[in-house]
Amino acid sequence: MSEWIVSLEGTEAGHRAALILALLAAFSHAVFGALQKGRYDPWVTRVSIDINHDVLPLPWLFVVPWPEPHMWPIFLGVMVLHFGYKVLQAMAYTRGAYTVVYPVVRGTGPLFTVIGAYLLFGETFTGIQWLGLSVLLAGIFGLAVYNLIFLETERDTLLPALGFAVATGLFVALYTTYDAYGIRATADPFTFLAWFFFLAAFDFPVMFAVSRRMRARLHGIALRPLLMRGAVGALVAYISFGAIMLATRLDQVGEAAVLRETSTVFAALIGWLVLRETVGPRRIALMALIALGAVIVEVGG
């Protein structure tokens, strides 16, 4: 499998595979976000997911090749960036409505990622692709503004929620670019993926173990359904993060990051169908604008 993935790098087949992987990452990331914003406190859900992240990949570590020595400092950077991302995301979700916070997070991420991909990998967008990115961002931020106008709850914490959402988007760009660097730095991409999921999941369980205040969030919560929800979230995260990392190894980092932001469309649909949040014709039009921007980016490449 690893040899086949590596053989696709830089080819037309690799470009098509990266497109499919980015869209798969978009859908699964919207599901992942809804899981964290849904029934339980976002901090509690996150620790449940991370516990499963530490347990489920254990057999995988003994199947993939051992990481090269130069990979360990890279993994340390991965742990730091993803911890910051998870903390900021939990703080945003705790304070704001999912359909307001999520578009802001996903809207700031791709712009910063395209800039980071240029600085780190020398990748450039064509004029048409910049047009597509502008259309996509207009749809994403338009969706956030629309949701903000008609928001009926959580207004007292909205300003800090939006601040944390922007900061989370910056960390999305940082980890997307850095993870792309990491998965390209090892001979076997699945070595990076296996150790990424294992090492990047220690932070929240440890934080809950040492913090009485954090443990208090578990009061009154049945652990079995929580852990089951965490197992589902962990499996979804494997698909989401694994797919986008493989996409960034096969094709341009910035393009994959932009296509992933169609997750906002999926998130709005989940918010409507699962979380019972209102979706009207204006939001449908904005979601169509997001999809159109992604198409323009893909065609203009």
Per-residue pLDDT tens for 182-195? 999 999 999 999 99
CA separation, residue 16 to residues 25, 66, 131, 166, 168 (Å):
14, 29, 21, 31, 29
More confident residue, 51 or 281: 51
Tokens linked to 222: 């049945």
Phi, psi of 187 (to 5 degrees): -65, -40
More confident residue, 71 or 218: 71
State the pLDDT at residue 66: 93
CB-based contact 231:50 (threshold 8 Å): no
DSSP state of 63: T
Using the structure block, give the residue that is written with the tokens 């999809």: 291
**Structural domain count, the chain:** 1
Q: pTM for this structure?
A: 0.81
Domain that holds residue 251: 2-299
* 269 pLDDT more than 80: no
